[in-house]
Amino acid sequence: MGATMAEKILALKSGKREVSPGEIVEAEVDCVMLNDVTALPAIKAFEKFGERAKPIPEITVLVQDHYVPNKDIPSAEQAKAMREFARRHGIKYYYEVGRGGICHQVLFEEGFAAPGRVVVGADSHTCTCGALGAFCVGVGSTEAASAMVLGRLWFRVPETIKVEVNGRLGRYVMGKDVVLHMIGDIGVDGALYRALEFHGSTIQSLPLADRLSITNMAVEAGAKTGMMPPDDKVREHLRGRVKGSYREVFPDRDAEYAEELSYDAEEIPPTVAKPFLPSNTSPASELSHITIDQAYLGSCTNGRIEDLRVAAEILRDRKVHESVRMIVVPASRRVYMQAVEEGLVETFLHAGAFVSGPTCGACLGGYMGVLGRGERAIASTNRNFVGRMGHAESEVYLANPAVVAASAVTGRITDPAELD
């Protein structure tokens, strides 16, 4: 019997010929990522290894992203602790404020994630870079600290669900809609501790930005990770930027899957996840009666240049509704610079939007767009739990960048086709 992508990578990295779902393996880790929120507990765990312990420089990546620039004294102290740790140990892959971006975008842009690699991060959305054909998983800060020192970590080999998406997506339908549609079908626990392996003509036709949106939200279905076989788009992205060598891994034709799902792309509309679960989905066209106070474009899910282009095209020669505040947050410094060069930032500003440097702030309800009591936001983020972006009595509706932009213009949830 053949093997899935997750099984093949974990076998390769643990020095085994083959592994089986449920088996516990100790695998080599190619990259360990910490951000300003998760680094502090990791540093405390690291110190228990003793004074002789050192982070492995080639695999350790530290990124300031959640509360940047620091919003208060506690966040400043968190950032300071990570900064001093990086200096003390001479960590070369340390990304300061203004020099990196949201951690998952940094892993993607800077060539840390690549096919066949095992990437762990002390953040649940580390699964994002599985779109490149890597086994990328979120872990606890203690586990991240251990991997940073030892270069290895234990894993339970997950079962895999194969997801086939075929056909041509409609106008204004993006990768975000594909994954919301799937989560709406299987639920937030439909892939619990399983790997989601995405295939099909639709996936192959998508740009990497949309693929990353899909794997980013695999965890919202309870999955351990989301993965896609590498192709020429991945190879082109990695050319000249990947750090080190990598080995591509593909599933066997006779791989055994725990479950197989199939979707017709033509049946997927611009989709919105209503409060308070990513699985509570409806077509955007059915929610036009719901008014909004805030439109948020950004995050590790949809803050890439392709996302900003889609939104800017809708906002060009239009204005943000007078009752709406729109916040645009590029996912990284590179994305921000490109948005400036292409005139996208100017378009957003002319429309009446606020444009920020890269930060996770509003997505987790930290700052830079926190919602008050009774306020409602449509956001290109990945979670809409109670109080996720602010007050426990606020509401977050998840959508793709086109829906976010169109809704910002009308002041209510809007299918972009309505503006054509």
% of the chain residues with pLDDT over 70: 100
Query: Cα angle vertex 86, ends 245, 98, to 5°?
Result: 85
Lowest mean pLDDT among 196-200, 274-278, 366-370: 366-370
- Measured distance CA(298)–CA(368) in Å, rounded: 12
Residues 212-249 have pLDDT tens digits of 999 999 999 999 999 999 999 999 999 999 999 999 99
Contact predicate 60/292, CB 8 Å: no
Which amino acid does the sequence have at 15?
G
What single DSSP character describes residue 122? Answer: S
- Grade residue 52 by pLDDT with cuts at 50, 70 and 90: confident
Mean pLDDT, residues 37-47: 93
Query: Cα angle vertex 276, ends 187, 406, to 5°?
Result: 100
Residues 354-365 have pLDDT tens digits of 999 999 998 998
Q: Is the pLDDT of residue 138 over 80?
A: yes
Residue 155 pairs with which residues in a beta bridge? 25
**Helix then strand then coil, % of the chain, to nearest 5:** 35, 20, 45
- Grade residue 146 by pLDDT with cuts at 50, 70 and 90: very high
- Measured distance CA(211)–CA(205) in Å, rounded: 10
Q: Are strands 60-63 and 376-379 parallel, antiparallel or unpaired?
A: unpaired
pLDDT value at position 96? 96
pLDDT value at position 1? 75
Average pLDDT of the chain is: 96
pLDDT value at position 50? 86
Mean pLDDT, residues 54-81: 94
- Nearest CA to 66 among 3, 137, 129, 123? 123
Mean pLDDT, residues 281-288: 98
Query: Cα angle vertex 287, ends 285, 288, to 5°?
Result: 75
Contact predicate 320/351, CB 8 Å: yes
Query: Cα angle vertex 7, ends 6, 8, to 5°?
Result: 95
- Measured distance CA(202)–CA(225) in Å, rounded: 20
Residues 330-351 have pLDDT tens digits of 999 999 999 999 999 999 999 9
DSSP, residue by residue, 333-401: HHHHHHHHHTTHHHHHHHHT-EE--S--TTTTTSSSS-B-TT-EEEESSS---TTTTB-TT-EEEE--H
Domain with CATH 3.30.499.10 in the chain: 5-263, 270-419
3-state secondary structure of 325: strand
**Interaxial angle between packed helices 208-216 and 175-186, expressed in degrees from 0 to 180 and rounded to the nearest 10:** 30
Q: How many CB atoms lie within 10 A of CB 122?
A: 25
- Measured distance CA(315)–CA(317) in Å, rounded: 6
- Nearest CA to 85 among 33, 32, 42, 130? 42
Q: Is the pLDDT of residue 51 over 90?
A: no
- Measured distance CA(110)–CA(100) in Å, rounded: 9
pLDDT value at position 327? 98
What single DSSP character describes residue 125? Answer: G
Instruction: Measure the N-to-C terminal CA separation of the chain; round to a whole number of Å.
Output: 51
% of the chain residues with pLDDT over 90: 96
pLDDT value at position 170? 96
- Measured distance CA(158)–CA(24) in Å, rounded: 10
pLDDT value at position 188? 96
- Residue 395: what are its φ and ψ, rounded to 5°? -135, 140
Q: Are strands 259-264 and 225-227 parallel, antiparallel or unpaired?
A: unpaired
Which amino acid does the sequence have at 53?
A
Burial 397-416 (b: 16+ CB within 10 A, else e): bbbbbbbbbbbbbbbbbbbb
* CATH (one of 3.30.365.10, 3.90.1150.10, 3.30.499.10, 3.40.50.300) for 5-263: 3.30.499.10
- Measured distance CA(339)–CA(322) in Å, rounded: 24
Global pTM value: 0.95
Mean pLDDT, residues 128-156: 96
pLDDT value at position 372? 96
Q: Is the pLDDT of residue 109 over 80?
A: yes
Residues 77-97 have pLDDT tens digits of 999 999 999 999 999 999 999
Residues 174-214 have pLDDT tens digits of 999 999 999 999 999 999 999 999 999 999 999 999 999 99
Q: Given CATH 3.30.499.10, say whether it is the number of domain 270-419.
A: yes
Mean pLDDT, residues 304-310: 98
- Grade residue 369 by pLDDT with cuts at 50, 70 and 90: very high
Q: Is the pLDDT of residue 35 over 90?
A: yes
Residue 225 pairs with which residues in a beta bridge? 195
